[in-house]
Amino acid sequence: MSDKIDLYSDRGVLLKSDVDLSAVSPLKNAAMQRLISLTKRTVAVNLAGVEGALKTGKVAGGRRQIKGRELNYDVVANAGALAEKIKTLLQVAPGDDTNVQILGGGKQLLVQVPTARVNAASEFVVGLTGAASATVEALIQQFKVGIVEAPMVHASVWGEYPQTVGMNGGNVASVLNIPQNDEGLGFALRNVMANHLAMITKRNAMNAAALASIYEQIGEMEMGNAMGIFERHQLLGMAYQGLNANNMVYETVKANGKTGTIGTVVQSIVGKALEDKVIKAGKKLPSGYVMYEANDVSKWNAYAAAGVLAATMVNCGSLRGAQAVSSTLLYFNDIIEKETALPGCDFGRVMGTAVGFSFFSHSIYGGGGPGVFNGNHVVTRHSRGFAIPCVAAAVALDAGTQMFTPEMTSGLVGAIYGEIKEFREPIVSVAEAV
């Protein structure tokens, strides 16, 4: 891979120039590797939720409440002592990378299990299970919980587990879903809903798209879709769409932001591709219609990927609503294919994804807003990493139009993971690690 790119921030500021494409690969970039590690190690513990569950007897989610089993423990007030106990329990060796931070005045804990525990596990759930079990043990020690009361403490932390594997109603959360919910091999990092991504990045649309793109493309590598010539193909798409390579997304949005439409973004991208000699005019039909040809198919895909994100930000940004993202994914690609006679982003997979997505997010079915979707969802899994970054950006730009808002579904996850720079500012973090 001899490609060179310039990396720009979400504000259009040059961060690094003349960067080898391979330097932003998850296989080499230290910031991405740290992001993967922290994703598996970092867990949110909701101490305020634990306290409320114990005081009311409402555990395991739904309408479940066990009268007569209420426990009046001042969990939040004892956050400092509990944090120390949890760290001691999780620590493998003195001075290792175990980390427990108190947030929100004691209402939440950021817990990072040590790397040694992750290395000694076959699955990423060790962060979730380690934090949950340490929290239960710390509560038992701190409040001298007896054998009769201990099950309620367990339920307040673990939720419905082990009756169900999803920890429904629990007060420990990871950005990763449980393995049983993955659609297939390699989907774990694609199983992060767009609302989470928006809240983690503090509703910064470009950083939300970047975090989504990194997760999606790591997933593509993990599931075997980025081998051989496809490695360059996927990395180019991630660089231009997710990491704002050559400032393409930023400049396109800026040029079309005030009065632009999906169609004008198509014009910008096609014009840029012609200027950069990524595509060229080919056969001209009797009608005058010109069929373009790609000099570099993978780079054309990268330009289209940047374009569909820019179109999303222009369209959903002007609407202040995420619901238009599926139609933007559809019609940007439909128009660009008619304009050039070349395949749209991801060889039509983004456009195909958008058809089902429109139906399931807010059409006749209306099962949920765009924010609850992810790259593992049966409706949106089909694109190879180029659809969900647009969904994350759209959700970040949404002004509260969704039935399931990011604040409702992802407040705890956003508060915890948003404290870590690699999650909150992925574009800058990746550039700094080049």
Confidence of residue 168 (pLDDT cuts 50, 70, 90): very high
Which domain covers residue 380, as residue numbers?
Answer: 2-35+187-431
When pLDDT is averaged across residues 200-213 and rounded to a whole number, the result is: 98
pLDDT of residue 324: 93
Residue 181 domain flag: no
| Domain match, 285 and 384 both | yes
When pLDDT is averaged across residues 204-209 and rounded to a whole number, the result is: 98
User: Is the four-CA dihedral 341, 345, 351, 353 of positive or negative sign?
Assistant: positive
Residue 178 domain flag: no
Residue 245 domain flag: yes
Indicate left, alpha or beta for 420 from its phi (over 0: left) and psi (-120 to 50: alpha). beta
Domain final position from 117, 148, 173: 173
Q: Which residues are catalytic?
A: 365
pLDDT of residue 366: 56
| Domain match, 289 and 307 both | yes
- 112 three-class SS: strand
Confidence of residue 364 (pLDDT cuts 50, 70, 90): low
Helices (H) and strands (E) counted in the chain, each on its own, are 18, 8
Q: Which helix (H) or strand (E) is 279 found in, with range?
A: strand 279-284
Domain final position from 173, 201, 220: 173
Residue 122 domain flag: yes
| Domain match, 127 and 251 both | no
Distance, CA of 29 to CA of 434 (rounded, Å): 6
Average pLDDT, the chain: 96
Distance, CA of 290 to CA of 44 (rounded, Å): 55
Q: Lowest-confidence range among 88-92, 267-271, 376-380?
A: 376-380
pLDDT of residue 108: 97
What CATH number has the domain bearing residue 293? 1.20.840.10
pLDDT of residue 362: 66
Residue 179 domain flag: no
Residue 138 pLDDT > 80, yes or no?
yes
| Domain match, 218 and 165 both | no
Q: Which helix (H) or strand (E) is 42 found in, with range?
A: strand 42-46
Q: What is the pLDDT of residues 396-429, one digit of tens each?
A: 999 999 989 999 999 999 999 999 999 999 999 9
Distance, CA of 258 to CA of 260 (rounded, Å): 6
pLDDT of residue 365: 61
pLDDT of residue 367: 58
pLDDT of residue 360: 78
Total-model pTM: 0.95
| Domain match, 223 and 363 both | yes
Please say whether the beta carbons of 381 and 375 come within 8 A.
yes
pLDDT of residue 358: 85
> What tokens were used for 300?
């054309």
Q: Kindly report the CA angle at 149 between 103 and 153, in degrees rounded to 5?
A: 25
pLDDT of residue 103: 96
Residue 278 domain flag: yes
Distance, CA of 211 to CA of 31 (rounded, Å): 12
Chain centroid to Cα 178, Å, comes to 15
| Domain match, 124 and 203 both | no
| Domain match, 132 and 240 both | no
When pLDDT is averaged across residues 261-271 and rounded to a whole number, the result is: 98
Residue 216 pLDDT > 70, yes or no?
yes
Residue 21 domain flag: yes
| Domain match, 56 and 102 both | yes
Using alpha carbons, select from 331, 396, 344 the residue that is nearest to residue 370: 396
Residue 207 pLDDT > 90, yes or no?
yes
Percent of the chain exceeding pLDDT 70 equals 98
* Per-residue three-class SS string for 363-388: CCCCCCCHHHCCCCCCCCCCCCCCCH
| Domain match, 107 and 221 both | no
Domain final position from 173, 198, 225: 173
What CATH number has the domain bearing residue 50? 3.30.70.470
Distance, CA of 246 to CA of 98 (rounded, Å): 38
| Domain match, 248 and 389 both | yes
Confidence of residue 149 (pLDDT cuts 50, 70, 90): very high
When pLDDT is averaged across residues 267-287 and rounded to a whole number, the result is: 97
pLDDT of residue 2: 86
Distance, CA of 244 to CA of 8 (rounded, Å): 6
> What tokens were used for 419?
């404290």
Confidence of residue 379 (pLDDT cuts 50, 70, 90): confident
| Domain match, 427 and 358 both | yes
When pLDDT is averaged across residues 55-83 and rounded to a whole number, the result is: 96
When pLDDT is averaged across residues 47-75 and rounded to a whole number, the result is: 96
Domain count, the chain: 2
Residue 182 domain flag: no
When pLDDT is averaged across residues 201-210 and rounded to a whole number, the result is: 98
> What tokens were used for 58?
């409402």
| Domain match, 297 and 325 both | yes
> What tokens were used for 100?
């427990």
